Amino acid sequence: KKQVDFESVLKHIYIELNKEVDRGQVASYIPELENVNPKHFGIHLRPIDDSSIGIGDFCTPFSIQSICKVLSLAHALQLLGADLWKRVGVDPTHEPFNFLSLTEKGNGIPNNPFINAGALVICDMLYSQLENPEKDFLDFVRNLSNDNSIDYDKKVYESEKTNGHRNHATASLLKSLNNLHNDVEQVLDFYYLQCSLRMSCEQLSKSFYFLMNGGKNIVGKEFLSPSQTKRLNAIMLTCGFYNDVGGFAFNVGLPAKSGVGGGIIAIHPKKYCIATWSPGLNQKGNSLLGIKALEMFTTETELSIF
Ligand code: GLN
């Protein structure tokens, strides 16, 4: 069996990629994301034995944005089980994350929980289930990650709110098709709060530990069943990168989720999870350096799921 020296692989990737001049474009739809230094670059690897290794800016918190969609789906699965799939599908789309795809089918069932339309339906479900959505969701994330320092970023939240016309349109369309049961404004508010969660790469790999560990988090507490965990990883593999999902599977070969804050979390079930952060995005809205780093990582270690 090949022994992989993770530390030297990560060092090599970091040094090589830090030379890159083209780091993509930082998301510019809100000032809080636009003003982030594009030079940030961090990687944190957490093998299942928790012998974790970080390099670069792996301790700096950033806006996790769409990565939160995995956490809210996990919480909804916990609370509702398979009933959830009556209101959202599990198929990839060939469209960007904010595409108004639900009109295609016309039935108000979004293709999957990671495009914004699907994430809004999940938020609506949580909103119906939770007594105090803002506090209860944060408690869930803090328990899952075993880290009470994780918090929302209220400035990012406020900014999203004032720039959320497209999300507003999506939520209204869902409402008109009877797949949003609560008030549109309240569901959107809750969605923006979730997107505003701040985590470092180190915290991300801690939070997502349960997805490589059959549903049990970093301190062994069960959050999802092994079967639910398998399905969540499958949805990450097929829908985690929107219209770049084929390219990501081809180049990297791991279930993963990206966010417009420049973060990526990727999972190798039973082996490791790895978080990367570089704020510059490619044309499809995914971190340019993050994808390159993960491609180098699975190539050099020969540890992809394929
Ligand atoms: N808050 C962003 C939005 O809803 C999240 C998008 C993303 O990270 N892909 O537009």
Same domain, 28 and 118: no
Nearest C-alpha neighbor of 213 from the set 2, 49, 4: 49
- Over the range 39-73, which residues count as b (16 or more CB within 10 Å of their CB) and which as e? ebbbbbbbbeeeebbbbbbbebbbbbbbbbbbbbb
Q: In this model, does residue 87 exceed pLDDT 60?
A: yes
Residues 83 and 164 in one domain: yes
- Given a cut of 70, whether residue 123 has pLDDT beyond it is yes
- 24: in domain: yes
Backbone angles phi, psi at 236, to 5 degrees: -65, -40
Span of 39-53, 98-112, 176-190, 276-290 with lowest mean pLDDT: 98-112
Q: Domain residues for 204?
A: 6-61+200-301
Residue 61, pLDDT above cutoff 60: yes
For residue 195, how far is its CA from the centre of ligand 1 (angstroms)?
7
Nearest Cα neighbor of 259 from 72, 12, 76, 6 is 72
14 in contact with ligand 1, CB cutoff 6 A: no
* pLDDT tens digits, one per residue of 248-259: 999 999 999 999
Check pLDDT > 60 for residue 53. yes
Position 40 in a domain: yes
Mean pLDDT computed over 123-131: 98
Q: Which of 180, 195, 210 is the last residue of a domain?
A: 195
* Contact 279 CB / ligand 1 (< 6 Å): no
Q: How many domains does the chain have?
A: 2
> Would you call 256 helix, strand, or coil by DSSP?
strand
Task: Using the mean position of ligand 1's atoms as its centre, give its distance from the Cα of residue 277 in Å.
Answer: 16
Tally helices (H) and strands (E) across the chain. Answer: 14, 9
Q: Answer whether residue 306 is part of any domain.
A: no
Please check whether residue 286 lies inside any domain of the structure. Answer: yes
Q: What is this structure's pTM?
A: 0.96
Residue 89 · residue 110 · CB < 8 Å? yes
Is residue 209 annotated as a catalytic residue, yes or no? no
Q: Please indicate, yes or no, if residue 27 is contained in any of the structural domains.
A: yes
In the reported structure, the alpha carbon of residue 215 is separated from the centroid of ligand 1 by a whole-number distance in angstroms of: 26
Confidence at 100, pLDDT banded by 50, 70, 90: confident
pLDDT at residue 98 is higher than 90: no
Please say if 66 is a catalytic residue: yes
Q: Is 191 a catalytic residue?
A: yes
User: What is the structure's pLDDT at 14?
Assistant: 98
Q: Is 78 found in the same domain as 189?
A: yes
Using the 3D structure, point to which of 146, 168, 195 is the last residue of a domain.
195
Neighbours of 8 (CB within 10 A): 10
Residues 101 and 186 occupy one common structural domain: yes
Q: Which of 127, 191, 192, 209 is catalytic?
A: 191
Quick check: CB of 194 below 6 Å from ligand 1?
no
Report pLDDT for 102. Answer: 62
If asked whether residues 181 and 81 sit together in one domain, one would say yes
The two three-digit tokens of residue 183, written as one number: 């008030």
**Quick one: 113 and 178 in the same domain?**
yes
Task: Indicate which residue of 206, 242, 258, 278 is catalytic.
Answer: 242
Residue 146 lies in a domain: yes
If one residue of 36, 195, 242 were mutated to test the ligand 1 pocket, choosing by the most ligand atoms within 8 A of its CB, it would be 195
pLDDT at 104: 52
Is 188 found in the same domain as 71?
yes
Note whether residue 233 is domain-resident.
yes
Which sign does the torsion angle of CA 82, 216, 135, 166 carry?
Answer: negative
The CATH number assigned to the domain holding 287 equals: 3.40.710.10
Dist. CA 215–CA 177, nearest whole Å:
33
Letter for the amino acid at 64? Answer: I
Q: Tell me what pLDDT residue 101 has.
A: 64
3-state SS class at 109:
coil
CA distance linking residue 255 with residue 275, whole number of Å: 12
Judgement on whether residues 57 and 205 belong to the same structural domain of the protein: yes
Residue 193, both tokens: 């709060």
**pLDDT at position 103:** 54
State how far the Cα of 286 lies from the Cα of 257, in Å rounded to an integer.
Answer: 9
pLDDT at 1 exceeding the cut of 60: no
Same domain, 154 and 177: yes
Tell me, what's the pLDDT at 176?
A: 92
What pLDDT sits at residue 157?
A: 97
From 178, 195, 212, give the residue that closes a domain: 195
For 214-233, b/e burial (b = at least 16 CB within 10 A) is bbbbbeeeebbeeebbebbb
1 part of a folded domain: no
Q: Is the pLDDT of residue 163 over 80?
A: yes
Local confidence band at 99 (pLDDT 50, 70, 90 cut-offs): confident
The mean pLDDT value of the chain amounts to: 95
> Contact 62/40 with Cβ under 8 angstroms?
yes
- 78 CA distance to ligand 1 centroid (A)? 23
**Helix (H/G/I), strand (E/B), else coil: 3:** coil
Together in a domain, 180 and 75:
yes
pLDDT tops 70 at residue 2? no
Q: Assess whether 19 and 117 both reside in one domain.
A: no
ipTM: 0.92
